[in-house]
Amino acid sequence: MADTHSDLIPVVDYARASADKAKDEHTVKDQQKANESTAKRLGCRIVARFADNDKSAMKEGVIRDDFEEMLRVLRAGRLKDGTPVMGCIVVADDRLIRKTGDYERFVDALTYEDGRVYADKRGFKDLYAEDVETMGLMGAVISRMEIKKMRRRARQWNRARALEGLPKKGHRPFGWQEDRITLDPVESELLRKAVQRVLAGGSVNSIVRDWQKAGVLTPRGNPWKNQTLRLTLRNARLCGWRTINGELVTDDDGDPIVGTWEPVITPSQWQALQAIFDARKGKQITYNGEAVGPIRTDPREHTYLLTSILRCGRILPDGSMCGGKLRAGFEKDRGRHRYFCHTKGSGGCGGLARRGDLVDEFISEAVLAKLEERVQEARPDIGPWPKEKELSDKIEQLKELKSRFAQRRISNSLFFDEVERLEPEIAKLRADRQRHALKAEARTDVTDIRRRWYSEIDEDRLDISQKRTYIREALHAVIVHPAGQGRGNKFDPNLLEPVWRED
């Protein structure tokens, strides 16, 4: 039966006369003849021809760029007059290459759509398969060359992006959304809390345990480990600074490059965090970052909850408020502590004192109530996850697919096509569900803080420095107003005036 046009695959061919005359088939005409017979043998029909001539181009100083034109045709899948083009024939791979990058661009254009063919005089080659063996020796050499170059380019590009303060490419960092700029509300909150806990003397290990319990996963979907979290907290990205390979990127003046993404914490918080980590390596770090001998590990830095948070509100004879930071002292005879304004010689007025246990209790309640109020405002009711049905449908589809495959009722290629489509969709939905669950969980977080605030179990209970962190986060100070005449010693909470931090 004679071939009809409709049976044949419409292709273009490409020929290039190499400047190297020693090679066989160095003229365009020779190559086109060879391509003609390849096409015939493989059931193809050449619908257009493209050819470049290196030698003449050099002579004339003009590049007649059929190669570029062919790339446009291949990408479009048709000639200018609308004739479909389904592939390309050359004598050999090396005809496609005049400068680095040509081969990759060719593959890119040809495989722009499915079902295209490529052949040299030895036969068809699958350019959709990415393994170099199918690309022939030349392809292998070229792609190795290209991969090296691409890596170098990627490095330079990363460096350039870093200098512009743009985020690194790659996996989404925990705490940010896919755009790597916008904070993820749930994850960034977890990070912020983790930072506070470490700053308040908490261990990375205890945070990791809590996160594991809560089912928090890394962006790659793995459970957190101490090392992973430590690296995350060590990363200057947290405070908006840019790093490459763990080194801060700085400008000519040595100042850190500030990124375009939203920071989770401030640079000073991040530096304080690093100082803690450094100190835990066994060195003590001074406020300006100097390491000075072994670290002092006295956990009772603050014995009382509100030392130096309370301020004296007594009005002095000149009409101004004292404002002195209240100290705390233990009253042995009464078995409890009290807060008092220091003597005049030490910067106070010496004229105000209050029962410690009652002040602590009242301020604790006020701070917890404030935290609860903020959570209510920030997170209105979160309903059930709305995509439950979608997820279970997709999981069902995948199951069905697998069972059909096991019974050999569908082809390999269809199976893997479908699996490749379904699996990422399912993974995405699962991640979405997890985030939703975390959002709902954030609501219960404050309940947990309240419980741990008053817990009877030592290990569970927040220690003084952790509580102080929450208090300091919620308010600037508490002004303690003096009891008026005739009030006696009766504790009056109205005389305590928290100065809340505005969000």
User: What is the residue whose two structure tokens read 């090392």?
Assistant: 227
- Residue 314 as a binder of Zn ion (CB under 5 A): the answer is yes
- Residue 482 as a binder of Zn ion (CB under 5 A): the answer is no
Question: How far apart (Å, rounded) are the C-alpha atoms in residues 305 and 361?
Answer: 10
SS3 428: helix
The piece of 176-184, 303-311, 344-352, 494-502 that touches Zn ion (CB under 5 A) is 344-352
Candidates 71, 117, 186, 341; binder of Zn ion (CB under 5 A) is 341
475 membership: H or E segment, kind and range: strand 475-480
Sorted by sequence, the CB contacts under 8 Å of residue 462 that are 6+ apart come out as: 449, 452, 453, 455, 470
Question: How far apart (Å, rounded) are the C-alpha atoms in residues 141 and 125?
Answer: 16
Rounded to a whole number of angstroms, the minimum distance from the CB of residue 311 to Zn ion is 8
The piece of 122-130, 220-228, 343-351, 474-482 that touches Zn ion (CB under 5 A) is 343-351
- Residue 348 as a binder of Zn ion (CB under 5 A): the answer is yes
Q: What angle do CA 379, 382, 383 make, to 5 degrees?
A: 170
Sorted by sequence, the CB contacts under 8 Å of residue 226 that are 6+ apart come out as: 204, 205, 208
162 or 322: CB nearest Zn ion: 322
Q: Which of residues 273-312 bind Zn ion (CB under 5 A)?
A: 312
- Total binding residues for Zn ion by CB under 5 A? 8
Give the 3-state secondary structure of 338-351.
Answer: EEEECCHHHCCCCC
Question: How far apart (Å, rounded) are the C-alpha atoms in residues 145 and 97?
Answer: 12
Rounded to a whole number of angstroms, the minimum distance from the CB of residue 498 to Zn ion is 18
282 or 347: CB nearest Zn ion: 347
Strand 353-355, strand 336-341: pairing: antiparallel
197 or 314: CB nearest Zn ion: 314
- Residue 478 as a binder of Zn ion (CB under 5 A): the answer is no
DSSP H helices in 112-247 = 136-163, 185-199, 204-214, 226-234
- Residue 322 as a binder of Zn ion (CB under 5 A): the answer is yes
Question: How far apart (Å, rounded) are the C-alpha atoms in residues 343 and 349?
Answer: 6
Long-range CB contact pairs, 136-139, < 8 A, 24+: 136/92, 136/93, 138/92, 138/93, 138/94, 138/97, 139/93, 139/103
- Residue 175 as a binder of Zn ion (CB under 5 A): the answer is no
Question: How far apart (Å, rounded) are the C-alpha atoms in residues 490 and 485?
Answer: 12
- Residue 479 as a binder of Zn ion (CB under 5 A): the answer is no
Q: Which of residues 123-162 bind Zn ion (CB under 5 A)?
A: none
Candidates 349, 359, 442, 479; binder of Zn ion (CB under 5 A) is 349
Rounded to a whole number of angstroms, the minimum distance from the CB of residue 482 to Zn ion is 8
Which tokens is 247 given? 């080194």
Rounded to a whole number of angstroms, the minimum distance from the CB of residue 480 to Zn ion is 9
Rounded to a whole number of angstroms, the minimum distance from the CB of residue 315 to Zn ion is 10
CB atoms within 10 A of CB 254: 7
Rounded to a whole number of angstroms, the minimum distance from the CB of residue 341 to Zn ion is 3
The piece of 202-210, 253-261, 319-327, 492-500 that touches Zn ion (CB under 5 A) is 319-327
Rounded to a whole number of angstroms, the minimum distance from the CB of residue 486 to Zn ion is 21
Give the 3-state secondary structure of 358-427.
Answer: HHHHHHHHHHHHHHHHHHHHHCCCCCCCCCHHHHHHHHHHHHHHHHHHHCCCCCHHHHHHHHHHHHHHHH
Rounded to a whole number of angstroms, the minimum distance from the CB of residue 491 to Zn ion is 18
The piece of 87-95, 216-224, 270-278, 335-343 that touches Zn ion (CB under 5 A) is 335-343
219 or 350: CB nearest Zn ion: 350
Question: How far apart (Å, rounded) are the C-alpha atoms in residues 375 and 193?
Answer: 14
Question: How far apart (Å, rounded) are the C-alpha atoms in residues 30 and 22?
Answer: 14
Q: Which of residues 351-390 bind Zn ion (CB under 5 A)?
A: 352
- Residue 199 as a binder of Zn ion (CB under 5 A): the answer is no
- CB 330, CB 316: distance < 8 Å: no
Rounded to a whole number of angstroms, the minimum distance from the CB of residue 322 to Zn ion is 3
Which tokens is 360 given? 């602590």
254 or 345: CB nearest Zn ion: 345
Which tokens is 312 given? 């004296």
Rounded to a whole number of angstroms, the minimum distance from the CB of residue 481 to Zn ion is 11
51 or 328: CB nearest Zn ion: 328
Rounded to a whole number of angstroms, the minimum distance from the CB of residue 366 to Zn ion is 21
108 or 492: CB nearest Zn ion: 492
The piece of 231-239, 242-250, 340-348, 438-446 that touches Zn ion (CB under 5 A) is 340-348
Which tokens is 163 given? 């200098």
The piece of 22-30, 46-54, 275-283, 337-345 that touches Zn ion (CB under 5 A) is 337-345
46 or 322: CB nearest Zn ion: 322
The piece of 36-44, 75-83, 252-260, 347-355 that touches Zn ion (CB under 5 A) is 347-355
Which positions lie near Zn ion, rule CB under 5 A?
A: 312, 314, 322, 324, 341, 348-349, 352
